[in-house]
Structures are given as C-alpha cells and as structure tokens.
Structure 1
C-alpha cells in the first residue's frame, strides 16, 4: 500500500537517486542527452539535503521510497515530482500531486505554480493544471531547459 510522508534527512540519497533515474528515463525523448546528464549528474549537496528536509515529501511502497514531490508554501511552487522508473504508470505521481494540492489548500493559497518538463506537461494538464507556452527553466547549476510554466487554482 502506498503511503506519502514528509521527507527526512534519511531520504536525501533516495530522493537524489529517484530524480536522476526518473529524468533519464522519462525525459530522454524530449531533451538532448548531454543536457539531461548535466542536469542530474554529480552528488547531493548540503543545499539539496536542506531543501529535501524542508520541502519534500516521499511516496513509500512496501518500505521503498518510490516517488518524491516538493512544495514550497511561500511561493506556491510545486517541484521535483519524480517516480522511480520501475514504479511509473501506477498513479504515484498523481497521488503525490493531489497531496501537494491539498497542502496548498490547507495553507489558504489561492493558486499554485510549477515548471513542467516537456514530457510531463500532458500529465499536469490531465490533472487540471493550465499552461501551454514554452519557456526556459534555469537549474541551480545554470543549465537552461525548455519547460511549460503551469498554474492551478486551489
């Protein structure tokens, strides 16, 4: 049975590994390989660890961390919804998104926003998010990737 809980310091490496595996599996047809490698290679920094501990949630299936999601209350920003490739297509991303949307409502936010990868934009539209224009997402390492800014009312 799938459960979702607030992430802790013990989830930092799992979150990093899921992010890397998910990006390489799901984004390969939409972005150049060199861009994807630049985005996910390396190892987690202290800054990454603090963000995971502060803003991440993890999906657990039979004791294994299988998905992540991040929600920053101050900005209403959703980010880092990633699912282990072995668990993709099972509704884990949708359940994570629903939890993050509920958090936004609980905090009294009027709307939420996210920057979807090109491959993920149809998923978010299916889940009720709006946005079609292609923009540029800049990673913390300075890499620029095409994205679709999206919003949803709470």
Structure 2
C-alpha cells in the first residue's frame, strides 16, 4: 500500500471510488435524500489539488482511499482536512487512520496550530478517536456536516 499525491489521470478513478464509498457506507443511511453527498465531481478534486495536497492510497495500482489537506482560508497557522474516503471493501482495516496520519505529517499540518475537519455524523467516532472534537463544543451541523477540530502545540 502506498500513499502519494494524486495525478491528473487518477482523478476520475478517485471520483468513482468516493461515490462507491458514500453509497455503500453508513453515510448513506443518514443522507438518503441528499444525493449530492454521494458523488464528487472531477472539477472538485482538480480544484482541491490547486489549493492543497490531495493524496490517494493505492494497493496493487488501484485507488482504495483518498484525503486532502490545505490551508484553512489561506491561514499559515490553520489547516483543513477533507475528502477522506476509503473503498468499501477496504474499510475498517486502518486505512482511514493511515490517511489521517499521513495528512497530519504533511507540511500544511506541520505549520498548523489547528486543523479543522467537516465530518458526516457517521465519521465522528472515527475522528474523535484521533483527537478531533466538535469545534467550540458546538454539536450543531450545517448542510449535514459537523465541524471538528484538533489543536497542536507548536
């Protein structure tokens, strides 16, 4: 298994993996009326590669996971992690944790005092195990997502 920056010719394969991950996970139970959460457009990933570092996880040449980190509103001390997904057949095998650990070792994380993640309700227990908590203790959600954050002492 390798984790590397996405190449442009891998964007569509990544979009397809994200769609499968959303449709075949607990996530779908919480948002059945909101199909926009079940896909990600090529242009969305392309844009994320321009403002941050978008990584893919590969096994035997096939993309089985992804994640992105970038500056939070152009901040030099805050970063934002997003688009964390794992292929359904590879979920619950530690790959999501490896993605987060990789993102937290990225230069955007190393300079950050705080990292924010927007999370679906189904992923909150996963992120809390990794030290992320509700932003300002706020348990409300916007557009079906919760804001979580983690602070680092620099």
TM-score with structure 2 setting the length: 0.82
**Equivalent residue number for residue 114 of structure 1:** 117
* 1:141 equivalent in structure 2: none
Report deviation, 1:52. Answer: 4.0
Distance 1:134 1:89 in 2: 27
For residue 69 of structure 2, what is the aligned residue in structure 1? Answer: 71
Any gaps of 5 or more consecutive residues in structure 1? 137-143
Q: CA deviation at 1:82?
A: 0.3
Deviation for aligned residue 1:6 = 0.7
Q: CA deviation at 1:49?
A: 2.3
Q: What residue is the counterpart of 1:62 in the other structure?
A: 60
- The structure-2 alpha-carbon separation of the partners of 1:102 and 1:6, relative to structure 1 and needing over 3 Å to count, comes to same
Q: Which of 134, 143, 152 is residue 140 of structure 2 equivalent to? A: 134
2-structure distance, mates of 1:46, 1:134 = 29
Residues 12, 42 of structure 2: 8 Å contact kept: no
Structure 2: distance between partners of 1:47 and 1:118: 22
* Contact residue 109 and residue 115 of structure 2 kept, 8 A: no
Displacement, 1:3?
1.1
- Counterpart position of 1:44: 41
Report what 2:6 is aligned to. Answer: 7
Q: Is the contact made by 1:3 and 1:61 (CA closer than 8 Å) also made in structure 2?
A: yes
Task: Map Cα deviations across residues 69-96 of structure 1 (whole Å, 9 max, x no partner).
Answer: 0111335110000001011111111000
2 CA distance for matches of 1:150 and 1:12? 26
Query: Counterpart of 2:83 in 1: which secondary structure?
Result: strand
* RMSD value, Cα: 1.9
- Checking the alignment, whether the CA contact within 8 Å between 1:12 and 1:52 is kept in structure 2 is no
Q: TM-score, normalised by structure 1?
A: 0.82
